[in-house]
Amino acid sequence: MNEPQDPQVRSLDARSLRGLAHPLRMRLLNALRHGGPATASQLAAELGESSGATSYHLRQLAAHGFVEDAPEHGKGRERWWKAVHMGVSFDAALLKDRDPGVRGAADLFMHEVANHHTQELATWLGTRHDWSEAWNRSSDMSDWTLSLTPELALELIHKMHDLVESYRSPATDDDAPDTERVRVHTHVIPIHTD
């Protein structure tokens, strides 16, 4: 990836990938990114885990630079945590690293991302009746099958990313009454046709 690095996006290397590639750590980091600062106990209750487990894994995430203390939120002995970055950049070369431990961590990371996307879709499907008709009309679950070369597939990915980034502009009115956070998933994957 030779794209300019966004300061809100952490580029994963072999060491940081190993620190992140754990199902609970990835869930904790996503919870902090989407829900804001929280304590280990609050995260434990939200994720159905023990506070001992969330405390341990938050410390591991901190050791690898993914989360940090949020002392402005705490009172007394309460320890609050916040995400350092709003996203990560994954280099597919990690899937072919010489170290089998790195390859295993990369594989686990990719599977957990896919699981998270599936959970978000399932949550939407289970709660869509709670949303307005306007939001129901404005959601999308589409798929296409195209015949592309690897080069054209990469071009498509870059164009989709550029289009999504264009909606991140400061011109968006976050205070408009119907503004909500929207998750956009893209998947470009080859398939065999028999």
The C-alpha atoms of residue 138 and residue 121 are separated, in whole angstroms, by: 14
What total of structural domains would you count in the chain?
Answer: 1
The C-alpha atoms of residue 41 and residue 54 are separated, in whole angstroms, by: 8
Per-residue tokens: 71: 């002392």
Long-range contacts of 95-101 (CB under 8 A, 24+ apart): 97/14, 99/14, 101/18
Long-range contacts of 143-150 (CB under 8 A, 24+ apart): 145/191
Return the CATH number at 24.
1.10.10.10
Report yes or no on whether pTM surpasses 0.85.
Answer: no
Residue 79 lies in a domain: yes
What is the pLDDT, as a whole number, of residue 165? 87
- 80 in Cβ contact with 39 (< 8 Å): yes
Residue 13 lies in a domain: yes
Q: What is the mean pLDDT of each run of 10 residues along the chain (194 residues)?
A: 59 94 96 94 96 96 95 81 92 94 96 94 94 93 94 96 83 72 90 83
Per-residue tokens: 187: 């998947």
Residue 76 lies in a domain: yes
The C-alpha atoms of residue 28 and residue 138 are separated, in whole angstroms, by: 29
Residue 144 lies in a domain: no
Per-residue tokens: 23: 């199902």
Residue 108: partners with Cβ closer than 8 Å, 6 or more residues away = 21, 22, 23
Write the pLDDT tens digit of every residue in 136-158. Answer: 999 999 999 999 999 999 999 99
- 82 in Cβ contact with 37 (< 8 Å): yes
What is the pLDDT, as a whole number, of residue 170? 60
For 98, the domain range is: 9-138
Beta bridge partners of 67: 83
What is the pLDDT, as a whole number, of residue 193? 81
Residue 73 lies in a domain: yes
Question: What string of H, E and C letters represents the secondary structure of 84-129?
Answer: CCCEEECCHHHHHCCCHHHHHHHHHHHHHHHHHHHHHHHHHHHHHH
